[in-house]
Chains A and B, each alone.
Chain A
Amino acid sequence: MASSIGLVAVMAASTLTATASSAAGLPSWCGPKKITMGFTDGFGGNSWRLVTTAAVREEVKLCPNVTKLYYADGQGKTDKAISDIKGMVAKGVKALVVFPDSGQAMLPALRSAYKAGVVTVPYRVWAGGVAGKDYNIFIGSDFVLAGKLWGNWIKKNLPNGGNILSLSGPAGNSQGVDEAKGLQSVLGSDPKYKFIGTQPYEVTNWDPGKAQEVLTAAIAKYPNIDVITTDFGPSIVSALQAAVSSGWKVPAIAGSDGNVLGCFYADNKATQPNFKMMTVSTQNDHSRLATDWAIALATGGKVPAQKAYPSTAFEDSVSGKPSPVQCRKDLPGDVYLSAKMSGAAQAKLKTN
C-alpha cells in the first residue's frame, strides 16, 4: 500500500506540475507529440498480469496523445514474445513497453525495436544489454530490497533461527535471483538460519499447478520448514490447502500479497499456531512507471524522477504495520489489495 501511496503521491505531484504548465491538465510525462503505443507481455495468463495490464491501460488513458494502445501476450513462449515485438514495430508504434519474461533471450528483439527508432522500455525482468544502445531504459525494481524485507522480518519474528524454503518463478529469473541475494545478505551469515531446497530457489514458473507439485515434494522432504518465502504468494495457496488437509502445520510465510493468500491466513490463523505472515507489495503498478517513461520519451514529455519501482512492505500479521493481513471475502481471490486500482475495479476486469 505504501508503494502505491508513494506512487500516487509522485503522480499527483507530477500532475500538479503539469497542470501548472499546461492548460489541458495532462500529466507532465505526457508530451505534445501524438503516438501509438504497444505493450507486450511474455506471459499474460494470470490475474496478476490482468491487473498489471489494466494498470497500463489506465495510465495510457491519462495521456490523450497516445491515440492507440496495442497489447500482445507471448503466452509463455519466447518465440511468440519475440515475434510480438516485431509485430509491434511493423504496426508502427512509437513507444513499446515490454515485460521480457524470457530474460536475455529477448535482447535481440528489444535491440531491433530500439534500432528501428521505437522508444523501447523493458521492465521488471532484466534482459541484459545497455540502456541507450539496446533499449532506452530498463525500469527495474529493487528485488534485493524485497528479499531484505523478508530477511529482516524473519530475523525479528523467528529470532531462534529456522529452515527457510524459497520459491520463485522460472529458473534463473532475475527477480528470484535478486530476492535470494537480499535474503542471503540479511540471514546468510547467521548459522541459525538454514536455506533448504534447491538454491537459490525452487523453480515454480509462477504456475500454481507446478507450485503445488514442487511445494508438496518439499514439504514431504523437509519435515521442519519454519519459513516459506514466495514472490507470487497466491500461487502457493492451493498447495498449502492440500498440505493442511493432510495434517501439515503451516509455517511462517514471507511473500507477496494477494487476496486469496490474505483469506487463507484469515481462515487458518486460529488453528495454525506457527502461521505468521508478512507480504511485500506485489507491485501491479510497476507497469505504470514503465508506461510513463515510454510515453514521456516518445511524446516529448518530462521523464519521471524514479528509474526503478520501489519494493515496499504491505502486510504484517505480527506488527500490523504497514497493514494487518487483509482479506476481502466479498471480492474474488485473485485481486491484489496493494494495487492502486481498487479491488472492486479489479474484480470487474474480464479481458486483457
Chain B
Amino acid sequence: MSSVDRRDVKKSSRIQISRGMRTVLIGLAALYLASALIAPTSVSRIAQMGMLPFAAALAIVGLGQTMVIQQGGIDLSVAGSVSLAVVIVTWGPDRHDNRLIPAVLAAFGAAIITGLINGFLITRTKLNSIVATLGTNAILYGVMMGLSGGSPRRTTERLSNFTNNKIFGLPHSIWFGVIVTIIVTVILKRTVFGRRFEAVGANARAARAAGLKVGRYQMSAYVNAQILYCIAGIILGGVISQPTAYQGDDYVLPSVAVVVLGGTSLLGGRGFPAASAISALFLKQLDMFVLSLGVPYGVRTLVISLSLMIGIAIYAVNWSSIRQKLMRNSKSRTLSSASA
C-alpha cells in the first residue's frame, strides 16, 4: 500500500467533519452574523421562537430525504406523507384528546405502509424512484382527501401542549428536531447498520458481493424516511393550531435542497444527516432574514432562490475543471496572439 493510500484512510476517519458540514456551518455563522448586523430583529427571541419549530420540522424531513438520497433515490412523496400525517393527527381526533394516541399510531402505521410500498416498488420492481414516489404521492393525496375532504380539523389541546410546552425555555418541537437529528446521525455514523447502509448506497453490487442483504437496506431507507416525515407532520400539526390539508407541499423541494446543501451527493453513498439538519436551520433563518429585511415579496423570493443556487453550485459545479478550462483558453489565446 502506498503512502498516498494511507493518507486517504486517515482522511475519512470517523471524527472528521465533512466538507458539507464545514460549508454549512460557515454559511450558517455568516448568515446569523449578517442577520444580526443587517436585520437584527430576525435574531430576536420572538423571531427565533417562531422560526425554530418549522426548522425542526424541515430538519426531520431532510433527515428522511438524506437516507433516501444515500440509496441513490429521491423521495417526492414528502408532500403527501407530511400532509397525510397532519390530517390524520388533527382530523382523526377531531378535537377529542382521548382519540389522539390512536390517531398518532394510525399515522405511523400509514407511514410504514407507505414506506414499504415505496421500497417494494423501487427495490423489487426496479421502478425509478421519481416515478414510484410521485405515484405514491398521488395515492397519499387520494387517501388524505378521501379521509378529510381536504379539510383537517383544529389541533387538539393535548397535541398542541405536546409540541409547544417548553423545557429549558425551548418548545418541545425544537427538542424533537435536535433529538431526532442526534439519533439518526448516531445510527448512520456510529453503528454497523449505518456503515453497511452507506456501503449499499455507494455501490449496491459491491455490497451484494460482500454478502450484504442489499434490498433490506434499501427498503429500510424508504420506511425510515416515511417514519421521519410522519414525525415532522405530527410536529407541524401541533405547532400550527389550524393546519391546511396541503401543509406538506412546502417541504418537497426544501427537503432535497437541505440534503444537497448538507453535502450528500445526489448519486448516493455517504450521507451527512447532521449537515442536512443544520442546512434546514440555514434555510429557515434565511427566510426569516429576508422577511425581516422588509423587502417586497418578489425580491424576497429572488434572494432565497439566489442563495440556494449559490449554495448548491458550491458542490454541484466542478469549479477546478472550469478554472483549468478558463486558464487553458486564456493561455491558448495568448499563444495565438503571440504567434500572430
Q: Once the chains bind, are A242 and B50 in contact (CB under 8 Å)?
A: yes
Looking at the assembled complex, report how far the CB atom of B295 sits from the nearest CB atom of chain A, in whole angstroms.
Answer: 8
CB proximity of A134 to chain B, nearest CB, Å: 27
Is B154 located at the chain interface by the 8 A CB criterion?
Answer: yes
Q: Among the interface residues B39, B239, B291, B296, which one has the most CB atoms of the partner chain A within 10 A?
A: B291
Of all chain A residues, which has the CB nearest B284?
A213
CB of B232, distance to nearest CB on chain A (Å): 12
Closest to A197 in B: B294
Closest B residue to A351 by beta carbon equals B149
Contact of B154 among A49, A246, A260 (CB under 8 A): A260
Q: Which residues of A contact B45 (CB under 8 A)?
A: 246
User: With the chains together, A214 CA to B39 CA distance in Å?
Assistant: 14
B292 touches which of A49, A76, A212, A217 (Cβ 8 Å): A217
Residues of B close to A203: CB separation below 8 A? 297
Contacting residues, chain B, for A216 (C-beta < 8 A): 46-47, 49-51
**Do B148 and A350 touch (CB < 8 A)?**
yes
Contacts of B39 in A (CB 8 A): 221
Docked complex Cα distance between A246 and B294 (Å): 22
Q: A50-B150, A76-B246, A332-B154 are in contact. Are A245 and B296 (CB under 8 A)?
A: no
Residue among A45, A197, A260 with most chain B CB within 10 A: A45
Rounded to whole angstroms, the CA-CA distance of A49 and B245 in the bound complex is 11
Q: Which secondary structure dominates chain B's binding surface?
A: helix
CB contacts (< 8 Å) of B44 on chain A: these are 220
Residues of A within 8 A of B298 (CB): 171
> When each residue 85-123 of chain B gets 1 if its CB lies under 8 Å from chain A and 0 otherwise, what string results?
000000000110000000000000000000000000000
B219 to chain A, nearest CB (A): 30
Cβ of B172 under 8 Å from chain A: no
Residues of A close to B145: CB separation below 8 A: 73, 352
A197 to B41, CA, bound (A): 13
Give Cα distance in the complex from A219 to B54, angstroms: 17
Interface string of A140-172 (1 = CB under 8 A from B): 000000000000000000000000000000010
B241–A237 contact, CB under 8 A? yes
Chain B, Cβ-Cβ closest to A214: B291
A281 interface hit (Cβ, 8 Å) = no
Q: Which residues of the partner chain B approach A198 to less than 8 Å between Cβ atoms? A: 294-297
A44-B150, A203-B297, A350-B148 are known contacts. Are A212 and B245 too (CB-CB below 8 A)?
Answer: no
Cβ A50 vs Cβ B149 within 8 A:
yes
A243 interface residue per 8 A CB criterion: yes
Please report the C-alpha to C-alpha distance between residue A234 and residue B153 in the assembled complex, in whole angstroms. Answer: 12
Q: What separation, in Å, do the CA atoms of A238 and B145 have in the docked complex?
A: 24
Q: Are the CB atoms of A209 and B247 closer together than 8 Å?
A: yes
Contacts A216-B51, A220-B292, A246-B46 hold; do A46 and B151 have CB atoms under 8 A apart? yes
Is A45 a contact partner of B241 (Cβ separation < 8 A)?
A: no
Let me know if A45 and B50 touch, CB within 8 A. no
The closest CB in chain B to the CB of A211 belongs to: B240
The reply on B184 being an interface residue by CB < 8 A is no
- In the complex formed, the residue of A with least CB distance to B239 is A238
Q: Is the CB of B150 within 8 A of A212?
A: no
Q: Chain A nearest CB: distance from B86 CB in Å? A: 10
The residues of B that contact A213 with a CB separation of less than 8 Å are: 50-51, 54, 287-288, 291
Q: Is A334 an interface residue (CB 8 A)?
A: yes
A333-B154 contact in complex given A46-B244, A208-B242, C-beta closer than 8 Å? yes
Interface bits B154-198 vs A (CB < 8 Å: 1, else 0):
100000000010100000000000000000000000000000000
Most buried by B among A44, A221, A234, A351: A221
Closest to B246 in A: A45
Within 8 A of A (CB), among B41-73: 41-42, 44-47, 49-51, 54
Contact at A248–B46, with CB atoms within 8 Å? yes
Q: Distance in Å from the Cβ of A298 to the closest Cβ of chain B? A: 26
Whether A208 contacts B151 in the complex (CB less than 8 A), given A76-B249, A217-B288, A217-B292, comes out as: no
Closest residue to A237 on the B side, CB-wise? B241
Specify which chain A residues have a CB less than 8 angstroms from the CB of B153 in the assembled complex. 47, 332, 334
**Within the complex, what minimum Cβ distance (angstroms) separates A278 from chain B?**
21
Q: What is the bound-complex CA distance between A209 and B90, given in angstroms?
A: 15
Chain B residues positioned under 8 Å from A219 (CB to CB) = 46-47, 50
Write the nearest CB–CB distance from B299 to chain A, whole angstroms: 10
State the CA gap A171–B41 with chains docked (Å).
23
B24 in contact (CB, < 8 A): no
A49: chain B residues within 8 A (beta carbon): 150-151
Residues in A lying within 8 Å of B, measured CB to CB:
43-47, 49-50, 73, 75-76, 171, 197-198, 203, 207-210, 212-221, 234-235, 237-239, 241-243, 245-246, 248, 260, 332-334, 349-352
Q: Known pairs A220-B46, A332-B94; list 7 more (Cβ under 8 Å).
A: A171-B298, A197-B294, A217-B42, A220-B47, A221-B47, A352-B145, A352-B151
Rank and list the top 10 A-B pairs by shortest CB-CB distance, nearest first.
Answer: A216-B50, A351-B149, A45-B245, A220-B47, A217-B291, A50-B151, A333-B154, A352-B149, A238-B241, A220-B41
